[in-house]
Structure formats: structure tokens, C-alpha cells
Copies of this chain bind each other. A is one copy, B any other.
Amino acid sequence: MSESHEIDERLFLRSVARAFAVLEVWSAEPRALSLGEIAKAAGIDKSAAQRICQTLVGLGYLERAPGGLVPGKRALDRAFDYLRITPLIERAAPVLATLRETCGERVDLSLFDGTTILYALRLQSRREAFFATLPGRRLPAFCTSGGRACMALMSDAAVDRLLSRSDLVARTRKTLTDPAAVLEKVREAREQGYACVMEETLLGEVVVAAPVTDSAGRPVAAVHIAGTLAEWSEAEFRRRFAPHAIAAADALSG
């Protein structure tokens, strides 16, 4: 995913890393897990798993449940800290609310992180029952509208590097997995100022997205507007909503 910058291993705390490796087990296996399962999935022995889990339960980051252990409520506190401290989130909330009212479709703010995007704010549309539309969801950048919008602000070489580090696996039968094809879409987004993705993460879904930059002009996030092909044609959706996405993203940039 994102290895940040090769950390000096002399200052690396193995026990801390193993504790987080334990917490991360549930992202691949979302159910109550036993000590043995945790140990195997995290690549540690049962003794270490025992010590780590006891500690994490004591701290509230894991909870005992019928059938084993599950993530604890403390995880929500840490996420809240992140959302509260990040100025972009605070600025984006009212902008997205307005956008949602104007457009009537689902609008999202996603954060650009390495080879992925991460939904931070999501305002569902009235008609769509939100299921699995929770903040914190992470998707690959290469096949999402927000990801491509962000890539559009990078050089072709940087886009190539990102794509080469990505796991280019198709999520639907329409997902583009050829790096050259993705790059072509990124170039189109660069020219238009927004990206449009059709059914590449969810069949029947059309999404336009515009990039949000930091003060140095680097892409850090994207504003998405998502609709369904049951109600819109691609051309009509682009024409109608792309300008709004761009305007909102601009308001949040810099």
C-alpha cells in the first residue's frame, strides 16, 4: 500500500509493529477471531498473540465477543481525532452539504493515499439506502474517479510509478486493468479538469470527480459525485455534474 519513506530500522519497535499487525488482521477477515487465527494471520506465534491481545483488550482497542475477539470502540476515537485535526475535513463538510443539496446525488470526499483512495466524508442521496457506504472504506486509485482525478495532477512518469506499484485487479467486468488504458483516461482527466469513471468499481454506477490540492499544488483529495445509469446517461451526467465537482474541489484547494 503506502510505505511512506523507508524508516530507519534501528528506531523501529518490533513489538509495536506486531500489535498493529494484529489490529489489521480484521480488515481481511471481518469476524470474531480466535487467538490461534489471529496468530496465524498476523504471522506471529500464539504466545505473542496472547500478550498483544490481552494488552489491546485492556486498552479498549479489542473487545471480547462470542467466538473470539473483535476490534474495539477505541478505534473510533482515533478516527475522530484524525477527522477533527485535518483542516480539509472541516472545510469540506459544509461545501459537500451544499453540493449534495444542489445535485441531489451522492457526494463524497476521498483522501488520496499512496496507491489508494480513502472515503472520509460521504453524504448519501435520498433514494439510495446506504449500505457499505461507511467512511474509512479504501479503494484502489487506478479504477476510481477520485484516484484518476488526483493522478491527473501528476506527471506521466509519476502515474506510471503509481500504477506499477498498484495491484491492477478488476473489480467489475468493466474495470480497466491495462496501465496504458488507465494512463489514457488520466490524460483525458488532465485535459478536462475532472475524471469520469463508468462502472469500474460498481456496475451501474457513474462517478465524476475533481482533484483537491494542497498549497503546493499536490493532489491530496477528491470530490466525487456519484449516480446511477438507471437515471442518467454518461454524457448528461458529465455535463450536469462535472462543473459542480470542479467548483467544489477548487473551493477546497490551496
Distance of A197 Cα from B189 Cα, bound (Å): 51
Task: Find the B residue at minimum CB distance from A129.
Answer: B94
User: A50's contact among B2, B11, B113, by CB below 8 Å, is which?
Assistant: B11
How far apart sit A51 and B5, CA to CA, in the bound complex (Å)?
15
Are B4 and A129 within 8 A (Cβ)?
no
Q: Which of B12, B73, B97, B126 contacts A113 (CB 8 A)?
A: B73
Neighbouring B residues of A137 by C-beta, 8 Å: 80
> What is the oligomeric copy number?
2
Number of residues from A at the complex interface, CB < 8 A: 70
**A23 an interface residue at 8 Å Cβ cutoff?**
yes
Distance A164 CA – B2 CA, assembled complex (angstroms): 45
Chain B residues with CB under 8 Å of A27's CB are: 77, 80-81
Minimal beta-carbon separation of A67 from chain B (angstroms): 11
Interface membership of A60, Cβ < 8 A: yes
Given contacts A54-B12, A131-B93, contact A81 B73 (CB under 8 A): no
Q: Does A204 contact B (CB under 8 A)?
A: no
Q: Which of A79-115 contact B (CB under 8 A)?
A: 79-86, 89-90, 93-94, 97, 101, 111, 113
A136 surroundings in chain B (CB, below 8 A): 76-81, 83
Q: A81-B71, A85-B70, A136-B77 are in contact. Are A16 and B17 (CB under 8 A)?
A: no
